[in-house]
Structure 1
Amino acid sequence: MEIKAREDLLKTQKERDFHRMHHKRIVQEKNKLVNDLKGLKLHYASYEPTIRVLHEKHHTLLKEKMLTSLERDRALGQVKRQSKISGLEATLRHMEIGHSYTAPEIRVGHRCEGENVPEGPTQKCLREAREQNKCKTKMKSNTKFFEEFYVMEDLFLECFIEVFWKTYGLDSEFPVVIQPDPSQYLCKENLGPSKFDYKLNNIFRLHELPVSCIAMHPRKDILVSCGEDRLWKLVGLPKGIVLLMGVSHTDWISDCCFHPSGNKLATSSGDTTVKLWDLRKGDCILTFEGHNHAVWSCTWHSCGDFVASSSLDKTSKIWDVNSERCRCTLYGHTDSVNSIEFFPFSNTLLTASADKSLSIWDARTGKCEHSLYGHMHSINDATFTPRGHIIASCDACGVIKLWDFRKLLPVVSIDIGPSPGNEVNFDSTGKILFV
């Protein structure tokens, strides 16, 4: 019995060792497959900017091809017209030589007013040819005019608008050099309370429906609260007294942003508009219309002459406050653009999209300069540090990423899920991040 028990024990140990080795091999294969899958995802992500660039080149080549074909048709029309005229002249010359003897004798100066002079074959053919050629030329010119008009309308309309506004000097100029406000960099290191010193101070009952966003005044103890009840309210701190209230949007308000001077407010809404408000009177002074779906976010340029907005229609727009028009539309994202923000004191824009990418744009040209990939879910918000060297972003599964803006590389990734991160913001020192 003892010998049999030993044999069973040895057999069981061998089976254990075999299954252990098999398990290790399966784990190694699984890790290899996981690494291969990550590599394939990164490889796939690297194709997206290339495809976007190729798509832009394809669109440019199509425009050039269309313009070339129009020039070719115009040149062919001129060649055909010249050949017809030369052929007609040769025919008339031949007819004049062959039938000159049949021409009637016309005495100049002796024709009565009611006298009808008979036409010879040369004059008759000449008149008929002229009338026929005149009708054909007129019909062809009209048809060609309308074809060219409808084809070139979209191409020249934007150019015409640009020239018109620049001619009359109503457009604002993007500043080349913007001097930053040094006061924002003079914050003390330990200005905020420590980790365990935060406590509830007051509760303000301002809206009947959920609050969508709040924004602090750049200089005063005032905040603006926006809600899904289509209202925004200017509240004085610390008592929470409502100083102003805006009533103009026809749908929920999604975002708001103070003018750098603090005298104006920009709001974006689900009614596809962006509105500017005078905080001295509380009146709406300007409404920008152009998006096809709800506008998610809005932001002011540091010079105060431009407002940028992002929308569910996969585009972003830059609005000129002085000329009251859209200066540029940013195309490139393949899904909703959820947030937009200007780089501090520059002409650079940052957008975050549901297509899981961040894009950096030149506001003067409307071109995408760089794209950042790394999130696996829809990006809800992105922002810069006060100094602008770090970007923070959050997605729909609670993953927070920090990016080095100078090197355009990810620095750290933090998972605080499973709840989504809806907004990220730095404190004035740039060392504390709020989610």
Structure 2
Amino acid sequence: MAAQQGMRNSALRVLEEALGMGLTAAADTAEAVAAEGAYYLEQVTVTEASEDDYDYEEIPDDNFCIPEGEEDLAKAIQIVQEQATDTYILEQKTVLPPKHAVPEVIEDFLCNFLIKMGMTRTLDCFQSEWYELIQKGIIELRDAENVPDVYTQNMFLENENKNLKKELKQHKQAADKAREDLLKTQKERDFHRMHHKRIVQEKNKLVNDLKGLKLHYASYEPTIRVLHEKHHTLLKEKMLTSLERDRALGQISGLEATLRHMEIGRSYTVPEIRVGHSGERENVPEGPTQKCLREAREQNKCKTKMKDSTKDSEFPVDIKPDPSQNLCKENLGPSKFDYKLNNIFRLHELPVSCIAMHPRKEILVSCGEDRLWKLVGLPEGIVLLTGLGHTDWISDCCFHPSGNKLATSSGDTTVKLWDLCKGDCILTFEGHNHAVWSCTWHSCGDFVASSSLDKTSKIWDVNSERCRCTLYGHTDSVNSIEFFPFSNTLLTASADKSLSIWDARTGKCEHSLYGHMHSINDAIFTPRGHIIASCDACGVIKLWDFRKLLPVVSIDIGPSPGNEVNFDSTGRVLAQASGSGVIHLLDLKSGQIHKLMGHESEAHTVVFSHDGESLFSGGSDGTVRTWS
């Protein structure tokens, strides 16, 4: 029993030394006791640790700073509150964990301690000797005492102290980094503040310079306006001179033809007409030819006076176009399809509704919803003449066969005729009850036909200045009207999904064509007149045989509406202006469809040049685009 008591006291002493002096001292004491083989009692008093004697390093409060300059005071108050909270947390006493419900015995404590410290050899020696004594009955397990809680609490506090030191080191590093970032940010702030002041100064200088330039260039605006007006006047005079020249050339050609027909014999010669410096003709003897010419002129004047007395014009006899000319054009070669966007003319502030080509010159006229029509010279796009007279949007326009007059239709229910030599409105036809959608000239130049929203079409006599006939028959708006080339036959397209063919002399409907499922927006003849092309509000194009009055083919390129269709001079290519902004080109020979992409919005109208090398289209953005 004395040996057992000595062994127990020796183990307790080793435990106290290991807990008090450390791992190395405990191991040395255990070996010394085992070597001496003598055991003695030593009174050990275990006291609870009252306070942690660790001296915490004081952290200098260098990070606290009140923001300078114009920083918000609330931010400074927030920083003070955060630092006060951190100080309160650090000053709080560490709350010890509650005691274990099951006390730890000495044997388990020693094993755990040795495992934790990595003393495997000491652990093996202890376990072998401990269990050997238990097997021999020298030590009983119930006699083993529990380890005081103070030791476990000390170990817990040591671990917590190490973790706090580690966190303190990390927070110091973070504080140093934050201090560096703060200094860097302050330097950048000062730099950007200085840069901002410099930029503000430069901006003020530029504003002052801009004001000075505006005042400087304001003095040039009246001069520029005057020069622009002179330029416009000169262009107008140039165009008028060109038209007068063409008219004079036509009169000369007519006089030459009359002279050739009225020449009596080869023995008579035309005396030379000499013009003096004053511009007046010199007195020369009148020969027989001049006498006959003067009599013919007098007879012509008498006929003109008689015609003026009757006023009403007579419809000419139907004259079919010469098919050989169109056949020659069709046999020239393959049609052109590789058009590319070449130029954009911004002519109107509102959408362009119609484009028409001059019958002889490289001139086009564009009409817009801004109530203006403009005569434009090609290819530069110079505005030669501007017409203003309608009180509402202009829907359509058409050149007189001679090219010296222009007819326009408008939403103000009128049709106006314009003299291009003077640029003035010479005649206004009033009679429709609603907006007029379309207008067209007869090939003789004495009649104008118009179609309206009031479900009727009218034929106007230019000489008598009155409506000669009103065409009734459609049950909805008449959207398009077109004369058959060199004849008295009219073609109308209506929102009632039908096409009608009329005799302009009697005003009767000769035939109607049905096949469209939606409102027909436009219809047109080929140059030879043997095919009719029509398009409707869902993008369906139909081709009709005018000789048999039967449909030929139907092509659906919708769902965007087809606003207008037009043939080229050969009649082999059909162009359609689509509501999607795409220009579709249909090859009537191969059936292929080509697309021209370039309009940013809806395309309203399309027309070919005389030689077919160019294409012009107008859109809802107020522009006319040139494709070549």
Q: Shared topology, TM-score over 0.5?
A: yes
Larger mean CA deviation between 418-427 and 98-107 belongs to: 98-107
Task: Give the superposition deviation at 1:188.
Answer: 3.3
Shift of 1:185: 2.5
User: Hey, what's the Cα distance between the residues in 2 that align with 1:187 and 1:24?
Assistant: 76
Instruction: Rate the CA distance shift 1:272–1:127 in 2: closer, same or farther, 3 A.
Output: closer
Evaluate the alpha carbon distance shift between residue 13 and residue 106 of structure 1 in structure 2; reply closer, same or farther with a 3 A threshold.
closer
Contact 2:320/2:485 (<8 A) preserved: no
The alignment partner of 2:219 has SS state of helix
Moved more, 394-403 or 116-125: 116-125
In the TM superposition, residue 45 of structure 1 has moved relative to its aligned partner by 68
- SS at 1:39's partner residue? helix
Deviation at 1:197, TM superposition (A): 2.5
Query: Cα gap change, 1:411/1:285 in structure 2, threshold over 3 Å: closer, same or farther?
Result: same
Spell out, residue by residue over 1:70-106, the C-alpha distance to the aligned partner (whole angstroms, 9 max, x if none).
9999999999xxxxxx999999999999999999999
| Distance of aligned partners of 1:33 and 1:291 in 2 relative to their CA distance in 1, 3 Å threshold | farther
Specify the alignment match of 1:133 in structure 2. 300
Deviation of 1:201 (Å): 1.3
Cα 1:17–1:275 shift into 2, 3 Å:
same
- CA offsets 1:271-316 (integer angstroms, 9 cap, x no match): 0000000111111000000000000000000000000000000000
Asked if structure 2 preserves the Cα contact closer than 8 Å seen for 1:278 and 1:284, the reply is yes
Q: 2:570 aligns with which of 421, 429, 432?
A: 429
Higher radius of gyration, 1 or 2: 2
- Unpaired runs of 5+ residues, structure 2, are 1-176, 575-628
SS of 1:98's partner is: coil
Number of matched pairs: 397
Match of 1:288, SS? strand
Q: Counterparts of 1:282-321 in structure 2 under 5 Å?
A: 282-321=423-462
* CA distances 1:231-253 after superposition (whole Å, capped 9, x unpaired): 00000000001011100000000
**Deviation string, structure 1 residues 135-194 (Cα, Å, up to 9, x no partner):** 999999999xxxxxxxxxxxxxxxxxxxxxxxxxxx000011436477962753476986
Q: Secondary structure at the match of 1:402?
A: strand
Change (3 A) 1:128 1:413: closer
Instruction: Say if 1:8 and 1:366 are closer, same or farther in 2 by CA, change over 3 A.
Output: farther
Moved more, 39-48 or 267-276: 39-48
Query: Contact 1:398–1:417 (CA<8 Å) still a contact in 2?
Result: yes
Q: Are the structure 2 counterparts of residues 30 and 61 from structure 1 closer, same or farther at C-alpha, using a change threshold of 3 Å?
A: same
- The alpha-carbon deviation at position 202 of structure 1 amounts to 1.0
Deviation at 1:66, TM superposition (A): 58
Rate the CA distance shift 1:45–1:271 in 2: closer, same or farther, 3 A: farther
Deviates more, 1:424-433 or 1:86-95: 86-95
Alpha-carbon distance in 1 for matches of 2:513, 2:350: 35
Distance change >3 Å, CA 138–CA 259, structure 1 → 2: closer
- Per-residue CA distance 1:346-378 (angstroms, 9 max, x = gap): 000000000000000000000000000000000
C-alpha spacing 1:119/1:248, structure 2 compared with 1 (3 Å): closer
User: Could you say which residue in structure 2 is the equivalent of 1:228?
Assistant: 369
Distance 1:272 1:117 in 2: 56
Q: Is the 8 A contact 1:45 1:373 kept in 2?
A: no
Q: Distance in 1 between matches of 2:480 and 2:532?
A: 13
Specify whether residues 360 and 201 from structure 1 end up closer, same or farther in structure 2 by C-alpha distance, changes over 3 A only.
same
Distance in 1 (alpha carbons) for counterparts of 2:260 and 2:321: 81
CA deviations 1:206-231 (Å, max 9, x no partner) are 10111001001111000000000000
Distance 1:320 1:200, change over 3 A: same
Shift of 1:8: 78
Contact kept, 8 Å, 1:187 with 1:428, in 2: the verdict is no
Contact 1:385 1:430 in 2 (8 A): yes
Deviation at 1:390, TM superposition (A): 0.5
Contact 1:359–1:371, Cα closer than 8 Å, also in 2: yes
Q: Which has the higher contact order (CA 8 A, sep 6+)?
A: 2
Instruction: Select between 95-104 and 362-371 the one with higher mean Cα deviation.
Output: 95-104
> Is residue 274–residue 282 contact of structure 2 (8 Å, CA) maintained in 1?
no
Task: Please say which of residues 93-102 and 275-284 is displaced more in the overlay.
Answer: 93-102
Change (3 A) 1:217 1:14: same
Whether the 8 Å contact between 1:317 and 1:328 is mirrored in structure 2 is: yes
TM-score norm. by structure 1 comes to: 0.59
Contact 1:49 1:371 in 2 (8 A): no
The whole-number CA distance in structure 2 between the counterparts of 1:231 and 1:178 is: 35
Distance 1:16 1:287, change over 3 A: same
Q: 1:43 to 1:309 in 2, by over 3 A?
A: farther
For the 8 Å contact 2:434–2:453, the answer to whether it is kept is yes
Question: In structure 2, what is the Cα distance between the partners aligned to 1:350 and 1:395?
Answer: 15
Summarize deviations over 1:23-79 as a string: whole Å, max 9, x none.
999999999999999999999999999999999999999999999999999999999
Question: In structure 2, do the counterparts of structure 1 residues 47 and 268 end up closer, same or farther at CA, with 3 Å as the change threshold?
Answer: farther
- For 2:264 and 2:341, locate their aligned partners in 1 and report how far apart those are by CA, in whole Å: 110
**Structure 1 portions without partners, runs of 5+:** 80-85, 144-170
TM-score (norm 2): 0.41
Change (3 A) 1:298 1:105: closer
Cα deviation code 1:86-129 (max 9, x no counterpart)? 99999999999999999999999999999999999999999999
* 1:431–1:121 Cα change, 3 Å: closer
Kindly, what percent of the aligned residue pairs are identical?
A: 95
Is the 2:482–2:524 Cα contact (8 Å) retained in structure 1? yes
Relative to 1, partners in 2 of residues 1:95 and 1:57: Cα closer, same or farther, differing over 3 Å? closer
The alignment's C-alpha RMSD in Å is 28.4
Distance in 1 (alpha carbons) for counterparts of 2:468 and 2:541 = 33
Distance 1:311 1:62, change over 3 A: farther
Alignment partners' CA distance in 1, 2:377 and 2:430: 31
Distance in 1 between residues matched to 2:282 and 2:566, nearest whole Å = 97
Q: Structure 1 residues 43, 378: CA separation in 2 closer, same or farther (over 3 Å shift)? A: farther
Task: Say if 2:554 is the partner of 1:381.
Answer: no
Matched residue, 2:228 = 55
Q: 1:390-434: CA deviations, max 9, x gaps?
A: 00000000000000111110000000000001111111111111x
Paired with 2:428 and 2:468, the residues of 1 have a C-alpha distance of 15
Distance 1:208 1:185, change over 3 A: same
Describe how 1:211-222 pairs up with structure 2 within 5 A: 211-222=352-363
SS across alignment from 2:192: helix
**Distance (whole Å) between structure 1 residues aligned to residue 270 and residue 419 of structure 2:** 86
CA shift in 2, pair 1:195/1:222, >3 Å: closer
Distance in 1 (alpha carbons) for counterparts of 2:497 and 2:404:
35
Contact residue 184 and residue 428 of structure 1 kept, 8 A: no
Q: Provide closer, same or farther for how the CA distance between residues 14 and 298 of structure 1 changes in structure 2, counting only shifts above 3 A.
A: farther
CA distance in 2, matches of 1:397, 1:116: 71
Q: Measured at CA, do residues 55 and 383 of structure 1 come closer, stay the same or move farther in structure 2, by a change above 3 Å? A: farther
